[in-house]
Amino acid sequence: MQPKVIVWDDKRLRDILKILADDTRLHLFRLLNEREYAVGELAAAVALTEPTVSHHLARLREVGLVTLRMAGNSRYYTVNAVGLGHFKRLVAEVEKLPPPLEDTPSDDTWIDALDWATPEDRETLHEFTHSGRLTNLPRQQKRLMPILRWLASKFEVDRLYTEREINAILKDAYAHDFVSLRRDLVDFKYLRREANGTKYWATGKQD
């Protein structure tokens, strides 16, 4: 397998700017900055089909600008404050960003050691990680699932975690959008939390 490039800050800035260069995505992003929207609401607001809007939202989420919340079968999107804050810091310090580093080989031995991973799971993890850290998020839910299962394995089943502890573990894997990943882990029942959100625990879900 060929060495992969770590997603350094200058590349991330370029990726975000490319995403926002699309008029439709910029419009959606501005709407989501006002409040949370369901996909159907956004489709009506911009006069596009729901699949088209979902595609644009996936691109915005891919670079950490929006976050997703599941409620039953409904999906609600809003601006990801953490990702937006990171983008603003990149823009504010654009002249200080270091040049891209040379390609560095990724240590993927941990992927090959996963006894639960199918060949497709391993392909996804190879594509979206570099030495045990996420470089990006997949657009398709099917490809997100092995990533969530891998992240869930970082939590002990018989232990209670605070939200801060959950965030710290997820930040180590993907600092750009750990909030969405935490929500995904809860939505897909890899994690559960108390009603007041103060304590979390791993469910031990295997699929």
The whole-model pTM stands at 0.63
**H-run or E-run covering 130:** strand 129-130
Of 47-56, 69-78, 94-103, 170-179, the least confident: 94-103
Q: What is the mean pLDDT of residues 57-78?
A: 87
Q: Please state, as a whole number, how many other Cβ atoms lie within 10 Å of the Cβ of residue 30.
A: 10
Amino acid at 36: E
Between 86 and 126, the more confident residue is 126
Residue 77 pLDDT > 60: yes
Per-residue pLDDT tens digits for 110-128:
998 999 999 999 999 998 8
Give pLDDT, residue 46. Answer: 94
Both tokens of residue 110?
């941990």
What are the start and end residues of each CATH 1.10.10.10 domain in the chain? 1-105
What is the arithmetic mean of pLDDT over 91-118?
Answer: 77
CATH number of 106-207: 1.10.10
Instruction: Lowest mean pLDDT of 59-73, 149-163, 189-203, name the range.
Output: 59-73
Third-level CATH fold of 1-105? Arc Repressor Mutant, subunit A (1.10.10)
Gap between the Cα atoms of 42 and 156, Å rounded: 39
In order of 60, 73, 84, 167, 175, the CA distances from 135 in angstroms are 15, 28, 17, 17, 10
pLDDT at 75: 87
pLDDT in tens, 3-13: 343 344 667 78
